[in-house]
Structure 1
Amino acid sequence: MIDVVIVGGGPVGLYLAALLLQEGVAVRVLEQRLHRERHSRAIGIHPPALAALDKVGVASAMVGAGVQIRGGIAVSGGKSVGSMSFASVSECYPFVLSLPQFTTESLLEQRVHELDGAALVRGARVTEIADDGGLVTVHAEATEVGGAGSRITSRILVAADGSRSLLRSQLGIRVMSRTYPDHYVMGDFAGFGDNLHEAVLYLEAEGIVESFPLPGGLRRWVVRIRRPAPVPDAVELVRMVHQRTGIRPDPATNSMLSSFSPRSTVARRSVAGRAVLVGDAAHEISPIGGQGMNLGWLDAAELTPIICAALAGKPVGQRLHAYSTRRRKAASVARWQSELNMTLGRPLAPPFLALRNGAVSAVSGIPPVNRLVARRFTMQ
């Protein structure tokens, strides 16, 4: 019998596994993918999450592999309308770390493997769960040739299987969802010129263009569009960027293309019997602002001592209730921040664009307010 089964071997499931393994907990992580996705949206790691990741000894390696974004600037019509420094947001991590999710997951998986080489089981899709009040039995089938089918009994089940969580559905947990009138296309290209270590927001009448540095001299370009669209080719995305910003990335250097329409989904409860939801399974947040993955890590960090107490036979009902309340509040704050970010980037007629730019400039020019906004942006 295993102490804890974690369904989902993404960044949140792997981090929770590492935390628990360090405490001597017997863990199995069931992941349906045989291989990690090389191209993913999540790149931003905020200071509170880096502090949490340091608990499993991976923060230093992540910082060494990533790009430290120490501030950002807002531009409109080719002119700077504001700036923000992250220097005051954290003593240890005064930056937002830009690191592709593939590398993040690789480092976390390596740490899990160091702690228990058998903890991660790939190629296993959970098809059925049964909770008898004392133990949870998980049935999984092999997803592909080379995958592993299994039947595991555990004392606690954690669902870290993403925004379209199958476990959440099997547990009968309902969600509250929101959709937004915002749609985006994005791609990674070779960087050039100035601002190679800054985030740049182009506040234009047609909608925002965001640009973030990535390791290896790359930059990610995110363009807000008016309606859902298929993934563009590199030439078309470059045309969009150039039309709004005057900057023309080299399409020949493109390494990733994607399109997405944000939504938010918050579970009405995160605990059901001996099962707990974490990460996107509990609360999907718009990726604009890069908070979702970080929120999941903070879930895991707060949940770990409660799981350990439960395994030690201590009553944890009140602690679980308080945990659920705090994490729902944190998700609400993150959702509000992401909605504000999306509102900031919507198309505006020139008179209203000038008013918005003036407000951004005013906030930027008041140091205490600028610092407060920087803390909020970095999930402080």
Structure 2
Amino acid sequence: MAEIPGPELLDVAIVGGGPVGMFLGILLARQGLSFRILEQRAGSSPHSRAIGIHPPALAALAQAGVGAALDAEGVHIRDGVARSRGRLVQGLSFADASPASPHILTLQQARTEAILEARLRELAPGALLRGVHVQSMHDAGTHVELAASPAAGDPDGATCRARLVVGADGGHSTIRRELGIATTGRDYPDTYLMGDFPDTGSDGATAVLYLEPGGIVESFPLPDGLRRWVVHTDSLLEGASARELAALIRRRTGTSVDAAANSMLSAFGVRSRMAVRMVQGRAVLVGDAAHQVSPIGGQGMNLGWLDAAALAPVIGSALRGRPTGLLLERFEKTRMSAARRASWQAGLNMALGRPLPASCLEVRNATLARVLHSTWLRNAVARRFTMQPVGRARQ
């Protein structure tokens, strides 16, 4: 088999070149480590399912030199409101809850990935290899060997040898499978239909949750005058049209969107999966390979970035021969705890959005309004939704 271009023995092989894998590559390049990112997609994806960047992740991305570019292109959401049957339930101010980190950033995932890739190519030209499908791995004790599927013009396939391997290859992780790491979790009954339409409303840069008897409708501003709509559905509406989504939005919220101008449409179900460990031998799992959480709340991509930010210095220490046993143990413990917290929050978000009889909805909404009348509780909820520690904000 041919050898992946590069040093005879890499410091790190990253399997998966999505936003998490590329971010980790940037962090390793800044440490001067040798690495390759092996991505099975031949080109970048045009799809933009993930859009939200929460303050902790934005701070980590800033340290990697991409925060300013993301900040300049994204929409700054400083406020959110919940409405029901045409009436205000309660509002949240992310700026009041955390003056030092006053907003959530929304940006289409395709643009986020493009910014990350540009930074990666600036720091480590040639490190990202596309069209490479890793099929198996072998821990040889002193290093790890990866076998990849044949590339164009290479009938014998390719191998990659690295001192460490990181699986950033998503929910169906090959690396997790090769390590034999089990997962726990469940498939939820909740299904959603989402799409992007021109924003013709008056909500500006405010996120809106419509708590309706038929199920929640979420609305988030995006760059280029767009707004993303996410609707809870009774079943998975694969093959649904933009016109059908527009009809659901109008029926539940009274808002009209232009179906003919729809630019993204996707139906999805929800699953939660947690690997029983993130570290094994010379391999580490990050992102969805380690923990899949519901996309409701927009935490998954952020969790992966924070995994990478926590892992990069540990990798640097390990490759420089420093003792890292306790560091890896702490990394795994803290990141799995963060994933469990995010999964719990996502479950709560979904429960809040399920259909309810109008009478029960009124009682629940009134209870929410009373609870969130407290400034401290309102700010605590806002901080929880933005993946920040709950407590009094520091000025």
Summarize the Cα distance change of 1:161–1:296 in structure 2 as closer, same or farther, 3 Å threshold: same
Deviation string 1:220-264 (CA, Å, 9 cap, x unpaired) is: 111101122213101111011111011110111100110011111
In structure 2, the residue matched to 1:88 is 96
Determine the structure 2 residue equivalent to 1:132.
Answer: 140
Q: Look up the match of 1:318.
A: 326
Match for 1:217 among 217, 225, 233? 225
Shift of the alpha carbon at 1:196? 2.1
Instruction: Give 1:146 deviation, angstroms.
Output: 9.8
Q: 1:318 to 1:86 in 2, by over 3 A?
A: same
Letter in 2 for 1:297: W
Q: Report the equivalent of 1:276.
A: 284
Shift of 1:164: 1.1
Indicate yes or no: 2:125 matched with 1:121.
no
Number of equivalent positions? 380
Task: Please say if residues 190 and 218 of structure 1, whose CA atoms lie closer than 8 Å, have aligned partners that are also in contact.
Answer: yes
AA matched with 1:284: Q
User: What is the rounded CA distance, in whole Å, between the counterparts of 1:307 and 1:370 in structure 2?
Assistant: 39
Question: Where does the alignment leave 5 or more consecutive residues of structure 2 unmatched?
Answer: 1-8, 389-395
Equivalent pair of 1:124/1:147 in contact (CA under 8 Å)? no
2:375 matches 1:367: yes
Q: Work out the CA distance in 2 between the residues paired with 1:272 and 1:313.
A: 18
Alignment match, 1:254: 262
**Structure 2 counterpart of 1:331, one-letter code:** A
Assess if the C-alpha contact under 8 Å between 1:121 and 1:148 holds in 2. Answer: no
Structure 1's 296 and 353: CA in aligned 2 closer, same or farther, altered over 3 A? same
Q: Distance in 2 between matches of 1:293 and 1:29?
A: 18
Aligned match for 1:345, one of 353, 357, 361 = 353
- CA 1:236–1:149 in 2, change beyond 3 Å: closer, same or farther? same
Report if the CA contact (8 A) 2:73-2:107 is conserved. yes
Q: Percent identity?
A: 51
1:280 match: secondary structure: helix
- Residue 34 of structure 1: which of 42, 57, 75 is its match? 42
- 1:136–1:357 distance in 2 versus 1, CA, 3 Å: same
Aligned to 1:379: 387
The alpha carbon displacement at 1:351 in A equals 1.5
Deviation, structure 1 residue 143? 5.8
| More divergent stretch after superposition (134-143 vs 261-270) | 134-143
* Aligned-pair CA distance for 1:189: 0.4
Residue 254 of structure 1 aligns with an amino acid whose one-letter code is: N
Structure 2 residue 247 is the aligned partner of structure 1 residue 239: yes
Residue 190 (1) aligns with residue 198 (2)? yes
| Pairing 1:174–2:182 present | yes
Cα distance, 1:91 vs. partner? 4.2
1:20 correspondence with 2:20:
no
2:170 to 162, 183, 197: 162
Residue 346 of structure 2 corresponds to residue 333 of structure 1: no
Q: CA deviation at 1:311?
A: 0.1
Q: Please give the TM-score of this superposition, normalised by the length of structure 2.
A: 0.94
